[in-house]
Structures are given as C-alpha cells and as structure tokens.
C-alpha cells in the first residue's frame, strides 16, 4: 500500500528530536510538511509584529533545512478544517502526524482534525514533545489533580530519554513532489503579505528558527563555568538585556526541543560536577513551564478570572487609561516604562522585569486585572505560551497558586537594586539619559535645576508618576487582605491576615450572608467564615506542609456559564483554528447569556 504522509507543523518548528515527524517518514512513499496559516487573520490578530516575524523566520529556516533534504515546507493558506479535506484529496494522504498540543484550545482543534482525518481514512499519529512530561500523566500520578507546587512536579516522573536524532538521516525517501510554482502556492509569506508595515527595522534582536536555536544552545552550554559552579546566576544589570544565549522564544515555538535542552544541561552538569543528580534549580525555567502546562491542560478558562476554578475572584478595577499608560510605557516610573519599551521593541524581557511590571499593573499599584496584562504580553512577548503566560500572571497577581501577597515590588527600589546606575533605563528611555544616577529611577524627585540640566522636565518631556506608590501599595495590601480573608482555605497562609481582630464577635450569629447579595457569580465557593471559628492567631501551628494544602479553592465554582469570549489568539499557531466548533459553542453560550439579560 502506498503511504502518503503529511506532517503538520504548529509548534515544534524543528527537525531535531521530532518523533511525530519521524513517524511521518516511517516507510512513507511521499512526505510533505505543512504549516497552516491564515493571512487574513494575521493583521487583525492580537499578535504583534515581532512574534509574526519570529514565526516567519522559523518557517523560512525549516524550509531551508528541508530544501537540503530535497523537500520543501508547504505553507498552506487557510484554516485547518478547510485546508485538510482539500489536501487529503489532492495529495491522496494516508497518514497525518503532528505534535501533541496539551492546551485546551489545541486539544479541541486537534480532536476535530483527527475526526475529520478518520472520515477520510487518514491515519493520525500524535507525539508529545512540547513538554518534558505528558501533562496528563503528571496529573494521573498526582492523584488526578495538577500539582499545586513546583517541587511536586519533578518528583513525579522522569521524562523519556530522547534519541535526539534529527530526521535528516531518514529523509532520503522524501522525494520530489515539489512543483515549479511551489513558492507561489506554498512559500513562506512575508510580513508585508500579512499586512504588517515594516519600515526597515531589521535590527531585531531575536532571530527565529531552529538553526539559530541550536547555535544558541551551544553557546548556552559553553558557559560551562556557570553550570559548573552552579549557583543561581546573580542578576545584574546585564541580565536585563537580551542575551545571545537566551532560549525561551525558541522553546516556545519549538525551534528547540525542551528535552534536548534538558538532557544536554543535565549531562553537562553531571560530567562537570560528578554528582548524582543536578539540583532542581538548574532546570527552573523548564520545570515552571511544565508546571503551568499541567495546570492548564484541563482548564479551558485558565486564561480568565471568571469561571476559572483555580482563580481567586478579585475586584479589579477597570481603568482603560491606566492600562494604556502601562502598556505603552507612560507610567512615569522609568523602571516600568523601560521594561515595557523593551518588551514592545524586542519581544523579550527578563523574568524579574516581568515580575516588576506584572506586579505594578495588578496587586502592586494599578489594581487592574491580570487578564489585561496577559493579553498585552500575548501580543508582545515572543515566548508567551498560553499556559505559562496565564499561569504566571495569576501567580504574580496572587490570583492562584497560594503565595504570600505581602510583598509588592517597588517600582523605584526594585530596579535600582538590579541596576544601580540606570544604564538599562538610559538605553530604553533615551530622554532620561542625562539624569544623574541618584534620580534616574525617580526623576520627579529631582530638583528643577537637575531636570533642566538633563533637558527633561518631568511633566513636560517625561510623564509624572501616574500613581503614588506608597499610597497605592497600602490600599492594595488592604484589598488583598479583604479578598483572602473571605476565603477560609487561605486562612493562616497569609502573614498579614493572621493578625486577629475582634471583628468577628460583632458579626451575626448565623451563617454569613455576604455571598447572598446576588453578585458573586463565579466567586470561589468558599465556605463562609463562620463566627464560631475564630481567626487563627499568628501562633497557630501551621500546616505541616507549608506551601499549600490544596490548589482548588473552588472546585465547585459554578462559573461554567461564564461568557466565553474567545478573544485569544493564543500565539501564532493556534490562530489557525478550526473555527466551526467554537463558534457553535460560543453561540450557544451567548444565547444563554442573552436570556439572562
């Protein structure tokens, strides 16, 4: 029987360590690699030009590598559900392979395609490689719930050792079904074709593609000194700038296999240190990624507050002007503005910088919903994985995963600790370059003469700070306390909330009615604090497990009806969505909401 294989690239834009691609080659008579992309969506999408550029470069790189193997990449225009039936017929496809996508959205899309393939008699093969572990396995081994803290995830399973083979060796069969007008039909589009204006800004920092990823990996591993005396790399001003060994965008798009990264790092460590097992912290970033992927895989509402069972309902303010100032780097806090400028220009910021701006937007200063911040990151951040992005935002805004909220990053002091001389700020906010170090993080405190000498008057050339940080952090700490005190599960977890108060005594002898007032749809169903259970005094013995007893504050959150607005284009690949199913569902929900109104 003739085997005509198609490998569908989404993430996993690489030839190395790509088991699904290997499956495609296995005994195949013809092999085609496709990427499906809807140019119409590109312009309208909530995905910034840097991310598109990175994607297109990665596709170019794939195409170049495939050419060397006498093949090509087929970039097919359209939506997967429309495209595949056509391809199945045209190419007489018998086998379809792709990398497993654990995200709820991707699972739904893939299920539709698998069903469709079945109808066409096409065999499908799916392999998990975007994460080290299969998220479903982790959940299974963790008593059927996602682990609630990081330490657990690593204890659960060892990832499958990968062969790390590239497909090149197997590719001999992939043969010449390339037509002369391939570029016309299936070439990688340009940014212009997708509707982006590119005014010769060729100076972008992150170049997409597998080739670049592997070069970076080598450089990364070359920093043996770092790995050898492994300590947490000390964060310096230099860390804030894009590094030529940075890998996160490559992991995001799958230009680099996370397993290859993991094993290379591990082997190197063991070679240099001769210790049986490397510390967890060596793989920090990789494990966090696993953690959030696992937390999100069965939670379609992971990227929103309403209807999200792990997310605490916080009465965030709705303030479009303030949000815009933050997103555009006009807060008047040079540290925040420099970070947001770097993010917009380059598509990457250091994780501490992410903490700083995320805290500032949410619980620290502006009290604006993490969902808004997440969307801005989704547009601008090259390495924004849907799960990791949403999860990190929930974490940093203290909306989930149980962490202390006492500590808010200071928009002045935090940056100064990292980069006392303010070089980072001078680079991204040139207007402030002549400010003395002393005032560069707080130019509004500089005497007028200093402002004049620096040719930058605060309030004229550079905005005044949009908020009084001392005042807002005082308010926000109180608000957080209000929120957390209502959730009885969190009792004792928070330092601040543990201060006893006589308030309970003054409250009524019957079950608290606060939830009564109609408005709390989607509120985690916290057993209401009963007056008979006084707040534990600070001296109460804590849980034997300090981190958290249980992550699901509201297993029963009845938010299933929550209005589902699919605003998310979860990064490029998922843009090409199988629309059909979703629209139906969305419609259904909307009908219901209409009735409600």
Using DSSP's 3-state secondary structure scheme, residue 127 falls into strand
Among 181, 200, 510, 532, binds another protein (CB under 8 A): 510
CB contact at 8 A, 219 and 260: no
Among 90, 231, 321, 448, binds another protein (CB under 8 A): 231
Tell me if 90 contacts another protein by CB under 8 A.
Answer: no
Distances in Å between the Cα of 268 and the Cα atoms of 92, 225, 500 are 46, 11, 52
Tell me if 266 contacts another protein by CB under 8 A.
Answer: no
Q: How far is the CB of 103 from another protein (least distance, A)?
A: 16
Between CA 101 and CA 388 the distance in angstroms is 14
Q: How far is the CB of 433 from another protein (least distance, A)?
A: 23
Q: How far is the CB of 61 from another protein (least distance, A)?
A: 25
Q: Name residues contacting another protein, limited to 543-572 (CB under 8 A).
A: 544-547, 556-558, 560-561
Site size for another protein (CB under 8 A):
99
Between CA 377 and CA 344 the distance in angstroms is 9
Q: Indicate the residue among 182 and 561 with the shorter CB distance to another protein.
A: 561
DSSP type of residue 364? I
Q: How far is the CB of 395 from another protein (least distance, A)?
A: 5
Q: How far is the CB of 322 from another protein (least distance, A)?
A: 10
Distances in Å between the Cα of 78 and the Cα atoms of 44, 186, 575 are 15, 11, 10
Q: Which residues contact 173 (CB under 8 A, 6 or more apart)?
A: 25, 28, 29, 31
Between CA 323 and CA 60 the distance in angstroms is 36
Q: How far is the CB of 127 from another protein (least distance, A)?
A: 25
Q: Which helix (H) or strand (E) holds 174?
A: none
Can you give the three-state secondary structure of 207-230, one letter per residue?
Answer: CCCHHHHHHHHHHHHHCHHHHHCC
Q: Name residues contacting another protein, limited to 44-83 (CB under 8 A).
A: none
Query: Which of 76, 36, 86, 54 lies closest to 578, judged by CA?
Result: 36
Q: State residue 206 phi and psi, 5-degree precision.
A: -110, 115
Q: Indicate the residue among 414 and 435 with the shorter CB distance to another protein.
A: 414
Tell me if 221 contacts another protein by CB under 8 A.
Answer: no
Tell me if 491 contacts another protein by CB under 8 A.
Answer: no
Q: Indicate the residue among 125 and 412 with the shorter CB distance to another protein.
A: 412
Q: Which residue has the tokens 């000498």?
A: 453
Q: Name residues contacting another protein, limited to 436-455 (CB under 8 A).
A: 445
Q: How far is the CB of 55 from another protein (least distance, A)?
A: 20
Q: How far is the CB of 223 from another protein (least distance, A)?
A: 17
Tell me if 126 contacts another protein by CB under 8 A.
Answer: no
Q: How far is the CB of 391 from another protein (least distance, A)?
A: 7
Q: How far is the CB of 441 from another protein (least distance, A)?
A: 12
Which range touches another protein (CB under 8 A), out of 255-263, 295-303, 426-434, 512-520? 512-520
∠ Cα 303 304 305 (to 5°): 140
CB contact at 8 A, 126 and 524: no
Tell me if 243 contacts another protein by CB under 8 A.
Answer: no
Largest pairwise CA distance in the chain: 84
Q: Indicate the residue among 416 and 577 with the shorter CB distance to another protein.
A: 416
Q: Indicate the residue among 159 and 498 with the shorter CB distance to another protein.
A: 498
Tell me if 590 contacts another protein by CB under 8 A.
Answer: no
Tell me if 2 contacts another protein by CB under 8 A.
Answer: no
Tell me if 534 contacts another protein by CB under 8 A.
Answer: no
Tell me if 226 contacts another protein by CB under 8 A.
Answer: no
Q: Which helix (H) or strand (E) holds 51?
A: helix 49-68
Q: Indicate the residue among 7 and 564 with the shorter CB distance to another protein.
A: 564
Between CA 333 and CA 423 the distance in angstroms is 15
Half-sphere exposure of 164 (CA within 13 A, CB side): 10
Provide the mask over 401-430, with x wherever binding to another protein is found by CB under 8 A and - wherever it is not.
Answer: --xx-xxxxx--xx--x-------------
User: What does the block give as tokens for 487?
Assistant: 């959730």
The CA R_g of the chain, rounded to the nearest whole Å, is: 26
Q: Give me the numbers of helices (H) and strands (E) for the chain, helices first please.
A: 25, 5
Tell me if 525 contacts another protein by CB under 8 A.
Answer: yes
Q: Which residue has the tokens 């980072």?
A: 424
Tell me if 225 contacts another protein by CB under 8 A.
Answer: no
Q: How far is the CB of 532 from another protein (least distance, A)?
A: 14
**Residues in a beta bridge with 562:** none
Q: How far is the CB of 36 from another protein (least distance, A)?
A: 28
Tell me if 252 contacts another protein by CB under 8 A.
Answer: no
Q: How far is the CB of 121 from another protein (least distance, A)?
A: 37
Q: Name residues contacting another protein, limited to 321-360 (CB under 8 A).
A: 351, 354-355
Tell me if 392 contacts another protein by CB under 8 A.
Answer: yes
Among 43, 279, 436, 534, binds another protein (CB under 8 A): 279
Q: Indicate the residue among 171 and 367 with the shorter CB distance to another protein.
A: 367
Q: Indicate the residue among 80 and 411 with the shorter CB distance to another protein.
A: 411
Among 239, 288, 423, 481, binds another protein (CB under 8 A): 288
DSSP for 380-434, written as a single string: H-TT--HHHHHHHHHHHTTSSS----S----TTHHHHHH-TT-HHHHHH-GGGTT
Half-sphere exposure of 493 (CA within 13 A, CB side): 25
Tell me if 498 contacts another protein by CB under 8 A.
Answer: yes
- 339-355 b/e with 16+ CB inside 10 Å = b? bbbbbbbbbbbbebbbb
Q: How far is the CB of 542 from another protein (least distance, A)?
A: 5
Tell me if 171 contacts another protein by CB under 8 A.
Answer: no
Tell me if 157 contacts another protein by CB under 8 A.
Answer: no
Can you give the three-state secondary structure of 375-387, one letter per residue?
Answer: HHHHHHCCCCCHH
CB contact at 8 A, 523 and 562: no
Q: Indicate the residue among 241 and 409 with the shorter CB distance to another protein.
A: 409
Query: Which of 53, 54, 72, 75 lies closest to 63, judged by CA?
Result: 72
Tell me if 302 contacts another protein by CB under 8 A.
Answer: no
Among 8, 52, 292, 348, binds another protein (CB under 8 A): 292
């Amino acid at each position: 029987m003739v085997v005509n294989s198609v490998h569908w690239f989404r993430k996993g834009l690489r030839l190395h360590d790509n088991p699904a691609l290997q499956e495609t080659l296995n005994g195949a008579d013809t092999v085609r690699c496709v990427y499906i992309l809807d140019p119409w969506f590109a312009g309208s999408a909530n995905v910034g030009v840097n991310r598109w550029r990175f994607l297109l470069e990665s596709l170019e790189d794939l195409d170049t590598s495939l050419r060397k193997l006498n093949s090509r990449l087929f970039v097919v225009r359209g939506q997967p559900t429309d495209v595949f039936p056509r391809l199945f017929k045209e190419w007489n496809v018998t086998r379809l392979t792709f990398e497993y996508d654990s995200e709820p959205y991707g699972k739904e899309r893939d299920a539709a395609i698998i069903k469709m393939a079945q109808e066409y008699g096409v065999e499908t093969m799916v392999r998990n490689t975007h994460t080290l572990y299969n998220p479903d396995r982790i959940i299974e081994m963790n008593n059927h719930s996602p682990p609630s803290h990081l330490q657990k995830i690593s204890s659960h399973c060892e990832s499958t050792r990968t062969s790390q083979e590239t497909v090149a060796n197997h590719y001999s069969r992939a043969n010449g079904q390339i037509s002369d007008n391939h570029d016309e039909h299936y070439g990688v589009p340009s940014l212009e074709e997708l509707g982006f204006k590119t005014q010769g800004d060729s100076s972008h920092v992150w170049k997409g593609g597998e080739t670049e990823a592997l070069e970076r990996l080598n450089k990364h591993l070359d920093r043996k000194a770092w790995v050898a005396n492994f300590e947490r790399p000390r964060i310096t001003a230099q860390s804030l700038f894009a590094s030529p060994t940075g890998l996160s965008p490559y992991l995001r798009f799958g230009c680099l296999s996370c397993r290859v990264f993991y094993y290379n790092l591990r082997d190197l460590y063991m070679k240099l240190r001769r210790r049986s097992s490397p510390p967890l912290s060596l793989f920090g970033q990789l494990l966090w990624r696993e953690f959030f992927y696992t937390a999100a895989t069965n939670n379609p509402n992971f990227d929103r507050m309403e209807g999200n069972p792990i997310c605490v309902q916080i009465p965030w303010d709705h303030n479009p002007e303030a949000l815009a100032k933050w997103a555009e780097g006009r807060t008047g806090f040079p540290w925040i503005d420099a970070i947001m400028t770097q993010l917009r220009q380059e598509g990457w910021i250091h994780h501490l910088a992410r903490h700083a701006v995320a805290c500032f937007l949410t619980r620290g200063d502006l009290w604006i919903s993490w969902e808004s911040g997440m969307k801005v990151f989704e547009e601008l951040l090259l390495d924004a994985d849907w799960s990791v992005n949403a999860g990190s935002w929930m974490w940093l805004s203290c909306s989930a995963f149980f962490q202390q909220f006492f500590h808010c990053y200071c928009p002045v002091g935090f940056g100064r600790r990292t980069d006392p001389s303010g070089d980072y700020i001078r680079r991204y906010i040139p207007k402030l370059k002549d400010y003395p170090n002393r005032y560069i993080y707080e130019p509004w405190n500089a005497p007028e003469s200093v402002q004049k000498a620096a040719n930058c008057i605060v309030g004229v050339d550079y905005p005044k700070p949009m908020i009084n940080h001392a005042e807002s952090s005082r308010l926000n700490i109180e608000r957080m306390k209000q929120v957390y005190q209502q959730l009885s599960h969190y009792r004792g977890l928070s330092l601040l909330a543990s201060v006893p108060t006589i308030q309970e005594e003054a409250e009524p002898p019957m079950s608290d009615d606060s939830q009564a007032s109609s408005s709390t749809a989607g509120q985690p169903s916290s057993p209401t604090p009963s007056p008979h259970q006084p707040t534990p005094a600070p001296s109460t013995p804590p849980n034997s497990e300090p981190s958290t007893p249980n992550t699901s504050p509201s297993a029963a959150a009845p938010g299933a009806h929550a209005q589902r607005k699919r605003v998310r284009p979860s990064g490029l690949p998922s843009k090409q969505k199988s629309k059909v199913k979703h629209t139906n569902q969305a419609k259904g929900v909307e009908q219901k909401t209409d009735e409600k109104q």
